[in-house]
Amino acid sequence: MNKRADLQPKTSSKTRAKTSSVATVQRLVLFGSPQLLQGEDPGAYDELLRRVCAAIKPVDIIDEIFIADVVSLEWEVLRWRRLKASLMQTHGLQALIEFLTNQLDYDQYWKFFEVELTESLQDNLEDQSGDDAQTLARKYARNEPAIDAKVQEILARANLSIGAILYRAKAGKAKELAQDYVLRKPSAIKLIGELLASANSSIDALMVKALAEQLDNIERIDRLITIAESRRNTMLREIDRRRAALGQALRRQVEEVEGEFEVIEKAPLEAKSAA
């Protein structure tokens, strides 16, 4: 017995599989860096590659080429699905903001109006002896009549209108409220639900209206997803076909070897019988 063989460290099948998987990922660097878009996670791509390698267990460079293509195509499928979801979410959110901009009452956005009015007055307030811009804006936002004329005069000199400032404030509050709704904040969910009910509408109705003009783009993305899925599935079938061919070749080789041993075994027996 070769005693040196006993000195070799023993590794479990799990450890060997993990080492093999890591080595495969490192070998696949030969095919270059993945083509990722800005914001895509290289770590997620590497994890997908690792898991595909673990599932397919490549045996040679041809398998590794197939794996590189499969991972790239699967990433493309995931990318198009993500972009489709982003398109729908973006336009749905914009539809919600527009709805809220038209539905909010003054008491729901007056604080935003105060901030907008303060900024508008800030650079146009000539009389520094009286109230400052923030004080004027606060009084005006809280409907103190005595200050109306002064604010209107300042805005008129700057070619500004209260209507435009009110609209910006309402739109700002609507955007904040819509973002809180996306984050599932209870207060936003409750208020938006009440506004939708009072308008005899729903989130689904807003989404349908928002996406009506995007159906062509959505259909194009769906076609691209289908094409990428088809190419990925074709590559997986090629891997299966190659594995089947390798299996058949191996079986033929085993049969040939067994046949040779059978001939070798019969020859001595026949010779002994003749003797």
* Per-residue pLDDT tens listing for the chain (275 residues): 444 333 344 445 444 444 444 554 555 567 778 889 888 999 999 899 889 888 888 888 888 888 889 999 999 999 999 999 999 999 999 999 999 999 999 999 999 999 999 988 887 776 554 468 888 899 999 988 888 888 888 888 888 899 999 999 999 999 999 999 999 999 999 999 999 999 999 999 999 989 998 999 999 999 999 999 999 999 999 988 988 887 787 777 777 766 666 655 555 555 555 55
Please write down the HEC assignment for all residues of the chain: CCHHHHHCCCCCHHHHHHHHHHHHHHHHHHHCCCCCCCCCCHHHHHHHHHHHHHHHCCCCHHHHHHHHHHHHHHHHHHHHHHHHHHHHHHHHHHHHHHHHHHHCCHHHHHHHHHHHHHHHHHCCCCCCCCCCHHHHHHHHHCCCHHHHHHHHHHHHHCCCCHHHHHHHHHHHHHHHHHHHHHCCCHHHHHHHHHHHHHCCCCHHHHHHHHHHHHHHHHHHHHHHHHHHHHHHHHHHHHHHHHHHHHHHHHHHHHHHHHHHHHHHHHHHHHHHHHC
- Is the whole model's pTM more than 0.85, yes or no? no
Which pLDDT value is given to residue 16? 46
| Domain parsing of the chain, residue ranges | 89-214
